Amino acid sequence: MAIQQTVVEVSLKNLKNNLRFLKSKLNPNTLIMAVVKAFSYGADAFIISKELEKQKIDYLAVAYTSEGLALRKKGIMSPILVLHPQINDFNTIIEYNLEPSIYSFRILKAFMSSAKFQKNYPFQIKFNTGLNRLGFHENQIDSLIDHLNGLKPTYIFSHLGASEDENEKNFSNDQIKKFSSLAKYFQNKIGVKIKRHILNTSGILNFSEAQYEMVRTGIGLYGFGNDNKYKNALKPVINLKTVISQIHKIKKGDSVGYNKGFIATNNITTATLPIGHADGISRLYGNGNGKVMVNGKFAPIIGNVCMDMMMINISKIVCKEGDQVIIFDDKNISADEFTKSIDTISYEILASLSKRIKRVIIN
Q: How many CB atoms lie within 10 A of CB 260?
A: 11
Q: Quick check: 247 and 25 in contact, CB under 8 A?
A: no
Which phi and psi (to 5°) does residue 186 adopt? -60, -45
Catalytic residue among 16, 37, 235, 291: 37
Residue type, 109: K
Q: Assess whether 230 carries a catalytic annotation.
A: no
Residues near 242 by beta carbon (within 8 Å), at least 6 away in sequence: 3, 5, 6, 7, 273, 274, 275, 324, 325, 327
User: What's the rounded Cα separation, in Å, for the pair 309 and 305?
Assistant: 7
User: What's the rounded Cα separation, in Å, for the pair 214 and 219?
Assistant: 17
Q: Assess whether 37 carries a catalytic annotation.
A: yes
User: What's the rounded Cα separation, in Å, for the pair 350 and 136?
Assistant: 30
Catalytic residue among 54, 109, 252, 258: 258
User: What's the rounded Cα separation, in Å, for the pair 72 and 68?
Assistant: 6
Query: Catalytic positions, please?
Result: 37, 258
